[in-house]
Amino acid sequence: MQPADAAPRYLGVLLALNVTFLLVSDFTGSRIIAIFGVGVSVTVFYFPFSYLIGDVLTEVYGYAQSRRVIWISMFCSIAGSGIAKAQLLVPAASFFAYDPAFRHIFSPGVKVSLAGLLAFFAGDISNSYVLAKMKIWDRGKRLWARFACSTLVGEGVNTALFYGIALRGVLPGDLLIRAIAVGWAIKVLVEIAMLPVSYRVVRLLKQAENLDHYDYGTNFNPFIIR
């Protein structure tokens, strides 16, 4: 096992990747594509990678480290959104014809922004909690099962909250439910398809860090920031 005072070697890399996927999702989430005739956000194809990262974080480093990464990522999202809004205060050059498009893209409504933050936090925390608990209950066996189950729960919470808050009143009830179902299914399928990669990353990280954390005695309060 890793000495108590040893700093994780690759935790910072996972944090950077998580922040990257979150920020990209923040700025592209309003782009709607059609899948099976249902409108869903284009982020269904790459936002699941943040859950893959969350799974790896919890599996190798434990719930507390994953929770810390979630909080840091959320603060980065808030900062990024704030900067994106602040730059709109600077007048565009008179010859810049695309300013209205920039203002449209970088001016999401308050409801959409809050929905995104709440969905990210609740979904990622749920994902990490389920995985950490299942690892204890199953004594570290069946990695595929806890990755799959935590994803089902986490992505379900994320999708239901974001679509339910951001698009309620925008889409008819039946279409909203279909959009939630399709978005959730695609996110889960993407992560399941990546299971072979997840397995290899987990194995390599456990070897490199000499660490395989079990959350015995962990305080699972999601609002602890450390």
145 burial (CB, 10 Å; 0-12 / 13-18 / 19+) is: exposed
39 burial (CB, 10 Å; 0-12 / 13-18 / 19+) is: middle
Fill in the amino acid letter for 190: V
User: Which pair of tokens denotes residue 46?
Assistant: 């790459």
Rg over alpha carbons for the chain, rounded to the nearest Å, is: 19
Topology, domain 11-91+115-209:
Arp2/3 complex 21 kDa subunit ARPC3 (1.10.1760)
Strands (DSSP E) found in the chain: 32-35, 38-41
User: Which pair of tokens denotes residue 222?
Assistant: 């999601």
Residue with tokens 């070897």: 207
What CA–CA distances, in Å, run from 197 to 161, 194, 200, 202? 28, 5, 5, 9
pLDDT for the residue numbered 2 = 53
Q: What is the pLDDT of residues 166-188, one digit of tens each?
A: 777 666 777 888 888 988 998 88
pLDDT for the residue numbered 39 = 78
pLDDT category at 163 given cuts 50, 70, 90 is confident
pLDDT > 70? residue 108:
no
pLDDT category at 7 given cuts 50, 70, 90 is confident
pLDDT category at 53 given cuts 50, 70, 90 is very high
User: Is residue 165 within 8 Å of 115, Cβ to Cβ?
Assistant: yes
Question: Lowest mean pLDDT: which of 100-104, 116-120, 138-142?
Answer: 100-104
Question: Looking at the DSSP assignment, which residues form a beta bridge with residue 117?
Answer: none
pLDDT category at 221 given cuts 50, 70, 90 is very high
pTM of this structure: 0.89
Q: What is the pLDDT of residues 20-50, one digit of tens each?
A: 998 888 888 778 888 878 878 888 888 888 8
| CA 24 distance to own-chain centroid | 11
Question: Lowest mean pLDDT: which of 28-32, 55-59, 136-140, 160-164?
Answer: 28-32
Residue with tokens 């004594």: 139
Mean pLDDT of the chain: 88
**How far apart, in whole angstroms, are the C-alpha atoms of residue 17 and residue 23?**
10
Share of the chain above pLDDT 90, in %: 53
- How many beta carbons lie within 10 A of that of residue 211, not counting itself? 17
Which one has a higher pLDDT value, 84 or 53? 53
